[in-house]
Amino acid sequence: MPSIVEPKLISGNANMPLAKAIARRMTMYRGMSVGLVDARVERFNDQEIFVEVYENVRGEDMFIIQPTSNPANDNLMELLIMSDALRRSSAARITAVIPYFGYARQDRRSKARTPITAKLVANMIAEAGIERVLTMDLHAAQIQGFFDIPVDNLYASPIFALDILEQFKGNTSDIMVVSPDVGGVARARELAKRINAPLSIVDKRREKPGEIAEMTVIGEVAGKTCIIVDDICDTAGTLCKAAEVLMEHGATEVHSYITHGVLSGPAVERITKSVMKSLVITDSIQATGAVSGATNIRIVPTAPMFAQAILNIWNGTSVSSLFETETLGPIYEGIL
């Protein structure tokens, strides 16, 4: 049964435009005004974070919208402190909406005497009083098991599939979906299945960290429009190199669909100068001025999906229904 209280949204400083967009979409879906709870999240002179909530939240169903992107430590602490403030203000339930889950790449011990930081972050989130997590495209699916609270992991592939079918309308027969490494095959296969396209793999081998020694294309990409699919693009070195290798193997053009555009360091410059015709990312991480100004980078919105997922959690209905094109299609009608 639906709760008698209304869902209430609060946001930190990590991605305020996305939080406001989610509030607008919820307003449209519900036919009544949904705004962000009035609060201040600021820093003292020594960079300590301070949170003050100006509205009464006693007994309310609270949703904190806060990706833990760069600066990851600051944004993570904002999330934890906001949760503590809400818990001490007697909120009935606190859900963390984390579009981009930072530290997800530290999900296992890669060598001796290294941490599993994703597990540590999961413990901190639960201890802060958060009772549920809503995120998108975790780097590794097993991170859900690091939490002792419910985790709803949304997927960008249904949004990407809708966008591809719209952008390449009438020309989908030449599309080849490409995984940039062996580890991402499951993600690429999922998208390929949605758009009924074949799958190829770029196998990369490193001699040492940060250097790509060799790339091999598994599959016939000659004469194909290649679409590279991955969850994170950081410095874009691997992505741009993969695009070059695909063009060398006869691809007619290369596009990339990446969920989380971290795009640090020389990433934007590399992408702008690369052979890639376009890079499509979501707004899970707030775009910098350089990203917004890049001619071959396009951003697709996640607010419609997150708004519906928040309402489904509040209503106690299925979140996994948003994995289906039949459900997500009407939500994105006229947007992509």
Tens digits of residue pLDDT in 193-222: 999 999 999 987 766 555 556 888 999 999
In a 3-state reduction of DSSP, which class is residue 211? strand
User: What residue has token string 């003050």?
Assistant: 52
List pLDDT tens digits, range 96-134: 999 999 999 999 998 999 999 999 999 999 999 999 999
DSSP string, 172-203: GGGEEEEESSGGGHHHHHHHHHHHT--EEEEE
**Is 160's pLDDT higher than 80?**
yes
Q: Which amino acid is at 83?
A: S
Residue 5's alpha-carbon distances to 61, 272, 306, 312, in angstroms, are 7, 48, 19, 14
Residue type, 288: T
> Where residue 170 falls among pLDDT bands split at 50, 70, 90?
confident
Inform me whether the pLDDT recorded for 54 exceeds 80: yes
pLDDT at 293 over 50: yes
Q: Is 250 left (phi over 0), alpha (psi -120 to 50) or beta?
A: left
Q: What is the pLDDT of residue 208?
A: 59
Residues 297-315 have a mean pLDDT of: 97
Contact (CB, 8 A) for 332 and 302: no
Block residue for tokens 């940060």: 210
Question: What is residue 2's predicted lDDT score, i.e. its pLDDT?
Answer: 44
The helix (run of H) or strand (run of E) holding residue 117 is helix 117-127
Binding residues for ATP: 46-48, 105-106
Please give the annotated binding residues for D-ribose 5-phosphate, written as ranges.
Answer: 206, 230, 234-238
Task: Please work out, in degrees rounded to the nearest 5, the angle formed at the alpha carbon of residue 254 by the alpha carbons of 250 and 260.
Answer: 145
Nearest to 299 by CA among 28, 17, 14: 17
CB 188 within 8 A of CB 229: yes
Nearest to 211 by CA among 235, 179, 183: 235
277 touches 253 (CB < 8 A): yes
Contact 271, 296 (CB under 8 A): yes
Percent of the chain residues topping a pLDDT of 90: 87
Phi and psi for 165 in degrees, rounded to 5?
A: -65, -30
pLDDT of residue 1: 39
| pTM of the predicted protein model | 0.94
**Statement: residue 151 has pLDDT above 90:** yes
Per-residue pLDDT at 253 exceeds 70: yes
Share above pLDDT 70 across residues of the chain, in percent, rounded to a whole number? 96
pLDDT band (50, 70, 90) for residue 10? very high
Task: State the chain's mean pLDDT as an integer.
Answer: 94
Question: 126-130, 142-146, 323-327: which has the minimum mean pLDDT?
Answer: 323-327
What are residue 181's phi and psi, to 5 degrees? Answer: -160, 170
Residues with a known catalytic role:
204
Q: What is the pLDDT of residues 56-94, one digit of tens each?
A: 999 999 999 999 999 999 999 999 999 999 999 999 999
What's residue 171's pLDDT? 84
For each of the domains in the chain, give its residue range(s) and CATH number, in order of start.
7-155+303-331 (3.40.50.2020), 157-300 (3.40.50.2020)
CA distance 143 to 258: 19
Whether residue 232 contacts residue 105, with contact meaning beta carbons closer than 8 Å, is answered with yes
pLDDT band at 3 (very low <50, low <70, confident <90, very high): very low
Task: Give mean pLDDT, residues 318-336.
Answer: 90
- What's the Rg (C-alpha) of the chain? 20
Q: Which residues sit in the known binding site for Mg(2+)?
A: 139, 181
Helices (H), the chain: 16-30, 72-88, 117-127, 157-167, 185-195, 237-248, 267-273, 289-293, 303-315, 325-331
Does residue 65 contact residue 10 with C-beta atoms inside 8 Å?
yes
> Alpha carbon of 42 to those of 94, 130, 177, 225: distances in Å?
21, 21, 44, 47
